[in-house]
Amino acid sequence: MCDYVIKYGHVIGRAKRDIRVGEYVHVHNVESLTAVHSVCRW
């Protein structure tokens, strides 16, 4: 896990958990790359 989330060809964050096809991508399942504490914990 800890895959990058890409929107319109740009990385917008890192997945906090598995995201299924068609599922909404929002703050509950994506971590911002600009956050100081943004590291993979798995």
pLDDT in tens, the chain (42 residues): 568 888 899 888 889 899 998 899 888 888 887 754 555 555
Classify residue 35 by its DSSP letter. S
- The pLDDT of residue 34 is 73
19/28 Cα distance (integer angstroms): 11
* Amino acid at position 1, single letter: M
Classify residue 30 by its DSSP letter. E
Measured torsion, CA atoms of residues 31, 35, 36, 39, in degrees rounded to the nearest 10: 20
- The pLDDT of residue 39 is 56
The pTM of the full predicted model, rounded to 2 decimals, is: 0.61
- The pLDDT of residue 7 is 87
- The pLDDT of residue 32 is 84
